[in-house]
Amino acid sequence: MVSADKIIQLLQSLIWLLAGVGVFIVGMNFMSEALEKSAGEGMKRLLGRISNNRFSGVGIGAAVTAIIQSSSATSVMVIGLVNAGVMTLMQATPIIMGANIGTTITGVLVALKNDYFNMLMYLFTFAGVMMGFFKSEKIKLAGLLCSGLGLIFVGLNVMSSEQAFGNPLVESMFQGIFSVINFPLLLILVGVIFTALIQSSSAATGVVITMVGTGILPLDLALFIVLGANIGTCVTALLASVGANANAKRVAFIHFTFNVIGTALFTAIVWIFKEPMVNALISMFPGNDSMSLQMRVSLFHVIFNVTTTCVLLPFVSKLVKYSCKVIKDKKSTENVYSLKYVDDRLLTMPSVALMQVKKEIDYMFSLVEKNITLSFNALDIENIECGDEMSNNEAIIDFTNGALTKFLIKLSSVVEQSDEQVIGSYFHVLNDLERIGDHAENFFEIREEMVSKNIVFSQIAKEDIGKMQNKVMKMLGISKEAFENSNREVLSELTILEEETDQIKKELTASHFNRLADGDCSMEVSPYYSSMVVGLERVADHLVNVGYSIVSPIGSQKEK
């Protein structure tokens, strides 16, 4: 019969063990957050190279995951990009495969643990905490990275200490458990459940590596738990796909299918050739010291993910077709608008989200340009048949303005301080573009009302309005070039054109009143003419605001 003292001692050891796992996960999160924020520009460049080349996709997935140290975060990000329509399934699948390779770096770091390395990591933890007191954001980020890296090894050492895995009672307890749960499929299930609970295959693999290093878990059993961990990590992606479109759900399904096929393949190999494989791993890292034992598990994890990727990469198109058969497109009779490039799942990757917001605004700008052009054409050729197209474009413009504003409010709480001004400028740009869209709609409504009342502008009035329209269209092109490509060189020309537009407005207003006084212009035409001239001048003002947003994000805006 077990004494009360031993039960208390065992509970204390288990609490110590859980504390070690908790510190390890906190360290992982700290390091992931720091790497993600500091590598924002690098992430943008990597994602900008997305193509249909499978090998580059694998490389991008591996690189992104190596940068942020989380395959789950990469998977969620890819699901968001697919849901936003930025990435196709054929492009996303190799990236998911590469993410599995990138996540093995954590296991290698864990396996390198020794006394000297531990001392260095402890210093990193202390230095990182001290760096957090600096005012510089860059130093704080570096401190978060250092403390996160250090805490990973603090957690590992807590787990492997005498109070946790080093306790004979804990050792005998786990050995007793694994003497019962020694069937491969049960071990895989343990790996799946444990990883699903902590939502990190890196943390799960780190615990397994530590257990092997302390001698609690035999290598041949550890291999099956590692295989299960690769399936368990899919839970995060599956949860992220809930509520997404069919393609985003297919990405999560492909991620799950990929790991299940790989696990099934390696389970058969390890099960049948367990002794030769274990001997091969031992021969690569001979000796019974902690590092050698741990490196064997880490190497197996690398081999599993690299081999599975090599085997399944030629069958990417098959995986995509299979996912399309399993997850059908839902037929919807409702015409529901949605953002084209932005998805809430991207909030976990602020630098990528900001890049996608820019694309969404560029798309909104193109719709505004389309409507301005259609409204001008309606006046020039007296054609009002484009009303339905303009209404649809205006509905999308209004929806984008509202939805993107809400997204930016959420994004503003997670971006770095240096990006807050960019978000501020985007708020203003959205407002200006939406107002330009409203003016385009007003121009068309003026034309519609004039046609219904059989009112026409005189030839002189048409020519005068045409002058302003030409200036505005030229300004629109320059403003779009300035915003989309951050081109400051064209801003001086934009300012000159805006001043010329103001002057033309004064001249046209004066000449119009002269024509009214001389009886050369009808009074019933006057309100429409004045509305057109005033509206065009206000559009010019909004275009200046949009162009100069790249210079002064939260600068003064002309009141409309």
**d(C-alpha 381, C-alpha 542), whole Å:** 26
DSSP 329: P
Residue 75 CB partners (closer than 8 Å, separation 6+): 96, 99, 234, 236, 237, 240, 251, 252, 255
Residue 233 structure tokens = 């990590």
Q: What is the pLDDT of residue 473?
A: 92
Residue 51 has pLDDT above 70, yes or no: no
Q: Which of 525, 516, 511, 408 is nearest to 468 (CA)?
A: 511
Q: Letter for the amino acid at 62? A: A
Q: What mean pLDDT is predicted for residues 384-394?
A: 81
Question: Half-sphere exposure (CA, 13 Å, Cβ side) for 124?
Answer: 21
Report how far apart, in Å, the C-alpha atoms of 175 and of each of 162, 198, 512, 540 are: 16, 23, 96, 77
Instruction: Select from 262, 260, 164 the least CA-distant residue to 214.
Output: 164
**Is 50 exceeded by the pLDDT of residue 114?**
yes
Whether 237 has a pLDDT exceeding 70, the answer reads yes
pLDDT tens track for 282-297: 888 877 777 788 888 8
Contact 207, 159 (CB under 8 A): yes
Q: What is the pLDDT of residue 36?
A: 65
Please report which residue ranges of 233-349 form alpha helices under DSSP H. 234-240, 246-272, 274-284, 290-312, 316-326
Most confident residue range from 17-21, 470-474, 512-516: 470-474
pLDDT at 335: 46
Instruction: Give the ranges where 413-457 is alpha helix by DSSP (H).
Output: 420-452
pLDDT average, residue stretch 130-154: 85
Query: What is the set of domains in the chain, with CATH numbers?
Result: 4-326 (no CATH), 344-548 (1.20.58.220)
Q: Which pairs with CB-CB distance under 8 Å and at least 24 residues apart come from 236-244?
A: 236/72, 236/75, 236/76, 236/199, 237/72, 237/75, 237/76, 237/79, 240/75, 240/76, 240/79, 240/80, 240/345, 241/79, 244/79, 244/83, 244/343, 244/345
Cα distance between residue 479 and residue 35, in whole Å? 35
Residue ranges of the alpha helices (H) in 49-114? 54-68, 71-83, 89-102, 104-111
Lowest mean pLDDT among 37-51, 106-120, 364-378, 495-509: 37-51
In terms of Cα–Cα distance, which of 95, 68, 67 is closest to 79?
95
Burial 199-211 (b: 16+ CB within 10 A, else e): bbbbbbbbbbbbb
Q: What per-residue confidence (pLDDT) applies to 552? A: 55
More confident residue, 385 or 398: 398
With cut-offs at 50, 70 and 90, classify the pLDDT of residue 545.
Answer: very high
Choose the most confident range, by mean pLDDT, from 2-6, 134-138, 403-407.
Answer: 403-407
Contacts by 131-138, CB closer than 8 A, 24 or more apart: 137/416, 137/417, 137/418, 138/38
Average pLDDT of the residues of the chain: 82
Counts for the chain of helices (H) and strands (E), in that order? 23, 0
Q: In which region does residue 70 sit, left (phi positive, over 0), alpha (psi from -120 to 50) or beta (all else)? A: beta
Res 157 pLDDT > 50:
yes
Bigger pLDDT: 39 vs 257:
257
Structure tokens at 16: 């110590």
Q: Residues 341, 362: contact at Cβ < 8 Å?
A: no
Residue 434: predicted pLDDT:
94
Model confidence band, residue 79 (pLDDT cutoffs 50, 70, 90): confident
438 — pLDDT class (breaks 50, 70, 90): very high
175-201 mean pLDDT: 83
- Average pLDDT estimate for 27-38: 73
Q: pLDDT-derived band of residue 197, with 50, 70 and 90 as boundaries? A: confident
Dihedral sign, Cα of residue 241, residue 242, residue 247, residue 251: positive
pLDDT top residue among 161 and 356: 356
